Amino acid sequence: MSGQHRIAVVTGAGSGIGRAIAVELGRAGWSVALAGRRTGPLEETAALLPDGSSLAVRADVCEPGDVAGLFAAVRDRFGRLDLLFNNAGTFGPGGVPVEDLPYDAWRHVVDTNLNGAFLCAQAAYRQMKEQDPRGGRIINNGSISAHAPRPHSVAYTATKHALTGLTKSLSLDGRAYGIAVGQIDIGNAATDMTARMETGALQANGEVVPEPVMDVADVARTVRHMAELPLEANVQFATVLATAMPYIGRG
């Protein structure tokens, strides 16, 4: 990954972790395709990157046609793809016991977190396999919930465990084509989606207590490190979390 012109796709780039990583890559000299469901937030992210270094593409990762259009736009604009950061995701409805979770809510989380990640990885894999020079890197955004659940998070936790299987399988299949695949599992990065952690989060013992968070920039720097390794090296799994959050010993 030491070439002069590196191209990345970041999904869910309109806010939070996706925006932070897109900005980190852009400032490091990458060209970044910003993908998300809303054009306005993507344009706000693009304004934070160096002029001419980004491409904003409205795309819903749950829709195969949108995903195909995203990667076609990247190919037409940049000619190749070096990195996919598979980031788009949703928690789904919070605090809903499994017996009360509507099927539509379950399906939406699965479609976004798992099916969307698969569709984007499949499109990136195809392009990386066929381009010259061949190869590239895919980094999936897992979660602490890929290891240990929070209460009332069955849909989110199930998809994040499944994402680990997706990462392993893609990593194995990609070896023959110079495609390196890894996963970053993030705990309590400070974003709008995790703002509730600082005011109180439900614990396994039934208590609601505030949790520490970390700067999302620390996650972005970690992803950049993973992304800029030569393809002969791979961070298979990385866990980055607020030091004092209740993960080790959760429950």
CATH of the domain at 56: 3.40.50.720
2 in a domain, yes or no? no
Average pLDDT over residues 188-209: 80
Percent of the chain at pLDDT > 90 equals 79
How many Cβ atoms from other residues are within 10 Å of residue 164's Cβ? 17
CB 35 within 8 A of CB 21: no
DSSP string, 46-94: HTTSPTTSEEEEE--TT-HHHHHHHHHHHHHHHS---EEEE------ST
Burial class from Cβ neighbours inside 10 Å (0-12, 13-18, 19+) for residue 239 reads: middle
Selected catalytic residue, list 125, 156, 177, 247: 156
Average pLDDT over residues 108-127: 98
72 in a domain, yes or no? yes
- pLDDT of 153-173, one tens digit each? 999 999 999 999 999 999 999
Specify the pLDDT at position 50: 94
- pLDDT of 220-249, one tens digit each? 999 999 999 999 999 999 999 999 888 886
247 has catalytic annotation: no
Specify the pLDDT at position 1: 43
pLDDT at 4 > cutoff 70? no
83 in a domain, yes or no? yes
Going by DSSP bridges, is the β-strand pair 31-36/54-58 parallel, antiparallel, or unpaired? parallel
Q: Read off the DSSP letter of residue 102.
A: -
Q: Read off the DSSP letter of residue 191.
A: S
CB 168 within 8 A of CB 116: no
Overall number of domains in the chain? 1
194 in a domain, yes or no? yes
11 in a domain, yes or no? yes
User: Which among 10, 15, 13 is positioned nearest to 191, based on CA atoms?
Assistant: 15
The region of weakest confidence among 56-65, 134-143, 159-168, 197-206 is 197-206
Range of 120's domain? 7-241
154 in a domain, yes or no? yes
How high does pLDDT run on average in the chain? 93
247 in a domain, yes or no? no
Residue 180's DSSP bridge partners are 137
